[in-house]
């Protein structure tokens, strides 16, 4: 059952949010074609000093700036963003997807203000991709509509890129933006990741305990002389000695080479 506070907020969730974001990216691209100087784009960028002067819309409009202004690459990028965003919304519901995207915007703005640099939606979109890859690791994406690649392999490349940025990139702004994107990701998936790691660890320990346990060796035959059983050599034959008193079993090597068991002597026999 949903918390009453959440139910009240769900009324304000934007349906098909990623469709709107992609459409606004396309509109900004068309505006750029009429203004290649970039003056319009400059009024949409997340510039901390301009926000402090009252241009608060920049806190949102930076997400509408296309990732590229090459028509072909932009088509592929917006197609992929739409695929990822709409799939996540269908899986989570509009409210949760809105919250994830809003946290990404807030994190990007925080990183921008901390470093005093222009904020971009690069890591915001990257966190969407990582969320999609976590939920659908075996989804096959047709690169350029030709080459099928599982999304989890592309996610590994992105994790490598994030790790490289945090550990080796010299610019602090890039490091903070990458860390903020990871915080957004782990806020939503941290509990699941911890649970999965605990389950894998338990499976590992269970398997190790099983392998360390000495298996119970159940045998049907055992030679009284050498102690060999059918587990030592499946080709061994065993026989009961007809000359021995009682039931005494030997391998073929010792069947004719052993001291025969005699019946107990009768103490009353003279």
> What is the chain's mean pLDDT, rounded?
83
- Contact indicator for 129, 84 with CB cutoff of 8 Å: yes
- Give the per-residue pLDDT at 1: 45
- Give the per-residue pLDDT at 243: 80
- Give the per-residue pLDDT at 142: 76
Domain CATH number, residue 8: 1.20.1540
Measured distance CA(35)–CA(217) in Å, rounded:
83
- Give the per-residue pLDDT at 268: 52
Please check whether residues 202 and 102 belong to one and the same domain.
yes
- Comparing C-alpha atoms, which of 40, 177, 179 is closest to residue 119? 177
Q: Residue 268: inside a domain, yes or no?
A: no
Most confident of 7-16, 44-53, 151-160, 170-179: 44-53
Q: Residue 53: inside a domain, yes or no?
A: yes
Measured distance CA(10)–CA(134) in Å, rounded:
24
Q: Which residue has the higher pLDDT, 38 or 83?
A: 83
- Contact indicator for 223, 195 with CB cutoff of 8 Å: no
User: Is residue 46 over pLDDT 80?
Assistant: yes
How many CB atoms are located within 10 Å of the residue 217 CB? 8
Classify the C-alpha dihedral 18-129-154-160 as positive or negative. Answer: positive
Give 175-229 pLDDT, tens digit per residue.
888 888 888 888 888 887 777 777 777 777 767 776 666 555 567 788 888 888 8
Please check whether residues 48 and 70 belong to one and the same domain.
yes
- Give the per-residue pLDDT at 218: 66
Please check whether residues 85 and 136 belong to one and the same domain.
yes
Total structural domains within the chain = 2
User: Is residue 270 over pLDDT 50?
Assistant: no
When pLDDT is cut at 50, 70 and 90, the band that residue 52 belongs to is very high
- Give the per-residue pLDDT at 210: 65
When pLDDT is cut at 50, 70 and 90, the band that residue 115 belongs to is confident
Q: Residue 269: inside a domain, yes or no?
A: no
Please check whether residues 129 and 244 belong to one and the same domain.
no
Lowest-pLDDT range of 12-21, 48-57, 195-204: 195-204
Give 225-244 pLDDT, tens digit per residue.
888 887 778 788 888 887 88
- Comparing C-alpha atoms, which of 232, 230, 223, 227 is closest to residue 255? 223
Residue 99 belongs to domain spanning: 4-207
Q: Residue 270: inside a domain, yes or no?
A: no
Give 121-156 pLDDT, tens digit per residue.
888 888 999 999 999 988 887 776 677 888 888 889
């Amino acid at each position: 059952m949903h918390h009453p506070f959440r139910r009240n907020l769900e009324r304000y969730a934007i349906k098909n949010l990623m469709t709107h974001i992609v459409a606004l990216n396309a509109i900004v691209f068309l505006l750029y074609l009429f203004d290649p100087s970039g003056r319009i784009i400059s009024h949409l960028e997340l510039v901390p000093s301009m926000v402090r002067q009252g241009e608060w819309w920049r806190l949102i409009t930076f997400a509408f700036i296309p990732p590229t202004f090459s028509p072909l690459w932009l088509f592929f990028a917006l197609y992929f963003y739409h695929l990822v965003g709409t799939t996540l919304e269908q899986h989570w519901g509009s409210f949760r997807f809105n919250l994830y995207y809003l946290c990404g915007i807030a994190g990007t703005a925080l990183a921008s203000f901390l470093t005093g640099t222009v904020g971009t939606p690069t890591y915001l979109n990257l966190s969407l991709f990582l969320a999609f890859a976590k939920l659908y690791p075996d989804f096959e994406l047709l690169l350029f509509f030709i080459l099928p690649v599982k999304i989890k392999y592309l996610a590994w490349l992105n994790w490598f890129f994030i790790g490289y940025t945090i550990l080796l990139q010299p610019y602090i702004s890039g490091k903070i933006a990458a860390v903020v994107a990871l915080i957004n990701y782990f806020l939503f998936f941290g509990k699941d990741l911890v649970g999965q790691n605990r389950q894998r660890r338990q499976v590992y320990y269970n398997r190790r305990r099983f392998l360390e346990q000495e298996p119970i060796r159940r045998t049907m035959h055992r030679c009284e002389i050498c102690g060999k059983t059918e587990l030592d050599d499946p080709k061994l034959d065993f026989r009961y000695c007809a000359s021995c008193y009682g039931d005494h079993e030997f391998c073929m090597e010792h069947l004719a080479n052993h001291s025969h068991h005699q019946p107990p002597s009768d103490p009353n026999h003279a």
